[in-house]
Structures are given as structure tokens and as C-alpha cells.
Amino acid sequence: MSEKLNIGVILGSTREGRVSPQVGEWVKGIADKRGDANYEIVDIADYKLPFLGEGDAPGIAAWNEKLASLDGFVFIVQEYNHSITGALKNAIDLAREAWNNKAAGIVSYGSTGGARAAEHLRGILGELMVADVRTHPTLSLFTDFENFSVFKPQNIHDENINLMLDQVTTWSRALKTIRQ
Ligand SMILES: Cc1cc2nc3c(=O)[nH]c(=O)nc-3n(C[C@H](O)[C@H](O)[C@H](O)COP(=O)(O)O)c2cc1C
């Protein structure tokens, strides 16, 4: 088998007090046990991205370099007003070629599992030629979190996470062949 894939687990929220780092670390923990790829947390907040068109901060180049180094993505998506966060949309808009011909999975959360946000993200990913996989683990603010702030996932989700990762790695490997 050729060299290991690099898969980024992208945290979609940046607000103070966000729960996305807990969810991202949990996904990475399951992923790391597989040994089939290099998984890393990619935190939008680290890049201090300006809004598109409002300056040329160094974070934009660093963000694009990070995305370019990845073969696939797992988006940690939280539902804000029935869609993805403004921070994630802006970060997506700040790159183009670095997204193209790669695969992605979505893990979402919200009062209805973040399903509406995830479906919006699928439409956006289509425009960027990111192949989003079918299996979509959904986490409930009511049953997978304590007080909506401490992440306590039910065991039933592990299998779905692995299924999603099976699909992301398979498609990431396939798409890598058309980028070379
Ligand atoms: C501005 C805002 C809008 C929200 N809108 C929704 C919503 O439409 N549907 C929903 O299920 N949860 C909604 N929520 C709840 C968030 O999904 C919840 O707070 C979640 O923890 C946010 O993710 P984060 O902690 O990683 O920022 C909203 C939260 C915020 C801050």
C-alpha cells in the first residue's frame, strides 16, 4: 500500500466556550485506533482568518497550505440558525484549489443532530469538488451532552464513525490518484 493518507478533522466553530474541541478529539481518538491514516485536528481558530476580502492576513496562506497538505477531511459541524457557522463558511470560502478532488465526512451536532447544517454543507462541498460520503454520524445536544456543554457520547455512535471513516479513506485514496 502507498504512503498513509493525511486526514484533517476540521473544527467548525470558533466561539469562546465551544464544544467542538471535545467532539473533534473524540473522533480523532476513534480514528487513531484504526492506524490507516494520519489524523490531525485542524482548528480554524488557530489561523485568525479575516473575512474574505477584508485584508491579507498571513493566516490565509497558512490555512491554504494546511488544506493542501491534506487528502481528506472530517468536518465537525455544529448547527447555528439551521446552517453551518459563519466561521466555517468564511474559512471554506478562503480556499479553492486546496479543497478540490478530495473526500469528506461530516459529524454534526445540534438539537436535531445538526442535520440541517450538515445538509447545507453538502451543497457547499459540491461546488468545491469535495466528495462528501454518505454515512453521517449525528450527535444530539440532549442525549450526547450533559448540560449542553460536556460531551458524553452514547456508545452507539462509534460504529457509525468508523463506517464514515471507511468511506472517507477509500474515497480519499481514490481521489488522490487524479490529483497526481
Ligand atoms: C448563534 C447560534 C445559533 C444556534 N442555532 C441553532 C439551531 O438553529 N439549531 C440547533 O439545533 N442548535 C442551534 N444552536 C445551538 C448550538 O448548536 C449549540 O450551542 C452548539 O453547542 C454549538 O456548537 P459549539 O459549542 O461548538 O459552538 C445555536 C447556537 C448559537 C450560538
Q: How many domains does the chain have?
A: 1
Mean pLDDT of 148-171: 97
Output the average pLDDT for the chain. Answer: 97
Ligand 1 mean position to 12 CA, how many Å? 11
Q: What is the pLDDT of residues 85-126, one digit of tens each?
A: 999 999 999 999 999 999 999 999 999 999 999 999 999 999
110 lines ligand 1 (CB under 6 A): yes
Distance 153 CA to ligand 1 centre (A): 17
pLDDT at 180 over 90: no
C-alpha of residue 135 to centroid of ligand 1, in Å? 22
* pTM of this prediction exceeds 0.85: yes
Buried b (16+ CB within 10 A) or exposed e, 83-118: bbbebbbbbbebbeebbebbbbbbbbbbeebbbbbb
Residues 119 and 130: their CA atoms lie apart, in Å, by: 14
CB-ligand 1 contact for 79 (6 Å cutoff): yes
Q: Which of 158, 168, 101, 178 is nearest to 134 (CA)?
A: 168
Interhelix angle 20-32/157-179, nearest 10 degrees: 80
In the block, residue with C-alpha cell 465551544 = 18
Domain residues for 54? 5-179
Answer for the pair 117, 84: CB distance below 8 angstroms, yes or no. Answer: yes
Query: Which residue's CA is minimally distant from atom 1 of ligand 1?
Result: 80
The CATH number linked to 58 is 3.40.50.360
φ, ψ (nearest 5 deg) of residue 61: -65, -40
Residue of the CA atom closest to atom 29 of ligand 1: 80
Task: Give the per-residue pLDDT at 159.
Answer: 97
Q: Is 85 in the pocket of ligand 1 (CB under 6 A)?
A: no
Shortest-distance atom of ligand 1 to CA 76:
26
